[in-house]
Amino acid sequence: MRKKVLAIYTGGTIGMEKEYTSGSLYPLDFEHILDKIPEIALLDCEVDIHSFDRPLDSSDIGPDEWKKFAHCIEENYHLYDGFLILHGTDTMSYSASALSFMLFGLKKPVIFTGSQLPVGDLRTDAKENLITSLYYACLYENGEAVIQEVAIYFEYKLFRANRTLKYSAENFDAYKSPNYPLLGSSGVNLQINKENLWRTASKDFFADLHLSTKVFFWRVLPGVSLQNLKNILVLTNTKILLLQVYGTGTLSGAKDTLTSLEKIRNSGIEIIVLSQCISGKICFGKYENSNLFNHLGAISAGDMTLESAFVKTLHLLDNPRYKEESFSDLFSKNLKGEKSP
């Protein structure tokens, strides 16, 4: 039987066109994309389209839109075999990671894709990205979806969404998954690395739309003091500070660093420690200048990406679903394949 895919069009370069007077790219509607890729009609699947009010540059997409995407999948879950989300590349890793935490009991593919060049451009990467994503979105074996998680397909590679980051604004090969292997790749054949796929233990499908906003991010820089940080955090009603430090978890050993972080902890704010390196993981106590995190009772983000750690925090913080467990215990767990043991 022909598989049915719901394509959710959110915007991004894939559906943009150049405005010749200003030279800027602006978003168009989905029909425009379909006109440019007539090959879609040749695929052995039925594609329905859901567009939101207005196509967005992905820099305008955040928690409110993630809730809409998750809700749309929830409403249509039983009507389709797979979901394709067309999204701008700039924040795709955030949106796709967010959905990986918001969707429970997912047993169907949710594939995000976009492109670096607009669909109408002669050298566009949109066609391959879109068509192969559709293949993955309706790939079934023995009556079961092969991909049962949120993934990003881009430039011949299929990634676990919550392991990705956009690392290039120039290359067609724009995404990396530095700490987790590929789920698949497309050459002459569509290849799937079955041993890397995620399988959920949850039984029924549902979307949890809870997302907190009481999270603050700070990147340490050489010579920049943390002295006033606590005041900013209190003023902004922050509950969790995502602190991006160097290498495996180091930051300046100066006395005032420790005092500033102690003040933050004593005001009840949790500190999650992330690395500025894109690959490798946080390891408290490896160097003297990371010992203070043990003393502070900070939470290690392990080898999670910033994108994933950020949206995981929004999802877990103050979420009534998890009221029995402490934030720190929950955050340290591998919930959706986002971190290594």
Determine the 3-state secondary structure of 196 from DSSP. helix
Residues 31-70 that bind ligand ASP (CB under 6 A): 57-58
Provide, rounded to whole angstroms, the least separation between the CB of residue 22 and ligand ASP: 15
Q: What is the pattern of x (binds ligand ASP, CB under 6 A) and - over residues 188-207?
A: --------------------
Residue 174 vs 273, nearer CB to ligand ASP: 174
The residue from 7, 9, 12, 313 that contacts ligand ASP (CB under 6 A) is 12
Per 3-state DSSP, what percentage of the chain is helix, strand, and coil (rounded to 5)? 35, 25, 45
DSSP string, 222-261: TT---TTHHHHHHHTT-SEEEEEEBTTTB----HHHHHHH
Catalytic residue among 13, 89, 132, 248: 13
Residue 89 vs 100, nearer CB to ligand ASP: 89
Instruction: Decide if 293 contacts 273 (C-beta within 8 A).
Output: yes
Residue 116 vs 164, nearer CB to ligand ASP: 116
Residues 79-108 that bind ligand ASP (CB under 6 A): 88-90
Q: Binding to ligand ASP by residue 15, rule CB under 6 A?
A: no
Strands 240-245 and 215-219: parallel
Instruction: Mark whether 13 is an active-site residue.
Output: yes
C-alpha R_g of the chain: 21
Strands 45-56 and 140-141: unpaired
Provide, rounded to whole angstroms, the least separation between the CB of residue 244 and ligand ASP: 22
DSSP string, 66-101: HHHHHHHHHHHGGG-SEEEEE--STTHHHHHHHHHH
Q: What is the pattern of x (binds ligand ASP, CB under 6 A) and - over residues 104-123?
A: ----------x-x-------
Tell me the CA distances in angstroms from 202 to 59, 182, 331, 337, one per residue in order: 32, 24, 18, 14
Number of residues that bind ligand ASP (CB under 6 A): 10
- The residues that touch ligand ASP, with contacts defined as CB under 6 A, are 11-13, 57-58, 88-90, 114, 116
Catalytic residues: 13
